[in-house]
Amino acid sequence: GQWRMLRLSNSPCHVCWREMRRTASKTSSFSHFRKGGRQMSWFPHLNISKGWSLSPPKELKWIKFETQEDLSKWRLGCDSDYGGKSHCSFAITEKGTGLFSGSLDNTPIEVVKEKMEYEISISRPTPLFDLYKGRKTPEMARAGFAAISSLPMALETDLQHMNVLLCRVRTDGRLYLASLRTDALRPGFVYQAPIRGRPGEWSTVRLPLRDFVLTDRGLVFDSKVMMNLRSVSTFGITIMDKLDGPFEVEIESVIAIRDRAVGDPDD
C-alpha cells in the first residue's frame, strides 16, 4: 500500500494512509479502524474519545515547593563566596513554600583589577535597567548580591509552547530578578526580568518571556538576543538592588502558560 509518515507528539508512527482514509468513515475515532468485523486501534496508547489532543499544553506547573526532594533541586550563593559580607539561606516552610532570605552588604570587594572598555547601553524602557545605571564593569557588581537557582536540568527544559511565567510570590517590596539560563549560554550569561510585588502580600507576578533580556554579570546587552525555549536549563531569583540590610521573598509556585494575548519571545 501507499505509506506516509505521520508524526504524533514526538513519536513517529508509520501508518497505511490509504487504509485509514478508506475506513475512517466507518469509525467514530481517527485512531481506530475495522478488521474482520472488530474495531482495532492504530495507536493503542491513544484514545481520542477520552480527550486526547494534538494541541500543546496551555499550562505547566513548572516549580513547586512541597517536599524536601523539591528543595534538593536548588542551590544558592552570594557575594560571600568571593569574600563579601552578604549572607542568605533557602528553606521549605511548613506551608509548602520556598523561603529565600538573608542580608545584603554592599561593601566593595576588590577581586579583579582588569579594566573593561565597554559601557552599559540603556535603550529600552524597562525597570530592569534602573538597577544597572552607573555600573560600567562587572567588578563593581561583585558586592551586594544573593541568588538561588535550580540545578541544571532539574526542571522541565522545554518551554517552547509557553510565553508567560506566573510567579506566585510574597516579597518585602525590594526589587528581585527572575533569571533563566539556556544550554548554549556562556558562563555568567543569563536572561533576566524584574519581579515586583506588594510588600507583605501574596502577588501573582506575570513575566512575559519576551520581556527577559540577556545580561552578563550585571551588564545588560543593548540588543535583543532570542532565547531558545526548547533548552531552558535553570530558573533562579536574584537580589542585587544596591541596598544594605535584610531581605525576604517567599515563593509558592511558578506556572508557565500560553497566553494568546501575549506575543512570542521572538516577535
Residue-wise pLDDT tens digits, 9-23: 444 444 444 444 444
Which pLDDT does position 249 carry in this prediction?
Answer: 97
Answer yes or no: pTM beyond 0.85: no
191 forms beta bridges with 180, 214
The pLDDT, as a whole number, for residue 45 is 43
Q: What's the mean pLDDT when you consider all of the chain?
A: 76
Instruction: Report the pLDDT value the prediction gives residue 55, as an integer from 0 to 100.
Output: 65
Confidence of residue 97 (pLDDT cuts 50, 70, 90): very high
22-62 tens-digit pLDDT: 444 444 444 444 444 444 444 444 444 445 555 667 899 99
Burial-class residue 167 by CB neighbours within 10 Å (0-12, 13-18, 19+): buried
| pLDDT attached to residue 127 | 39
In whole angstroms, what is the distance from residue 37 CA to residue 264 CA?
A: 49
Name the pLDDT band for 252 (thresholds 50, 70, 90).
very high
Q: What are the beta bridge partners of residue 215?
A: 190, 220
From 31-35, 79-83, 168-172, the region with the lowest mean pLDDT: 31-35
| Arithmetic mean of pLDDT, 122-149 | 55
pLDDT for 56: 67
Whole-angstrom distance, CA of residue 148 vs CA of residue 100: 8
- Judge whether residue 111 has pLDDT over 90: no
Cell numbers that stand for 42 in this block: 492504530
Q: How far apart are CA 265 and CA 151, in angstroms?
A: 24
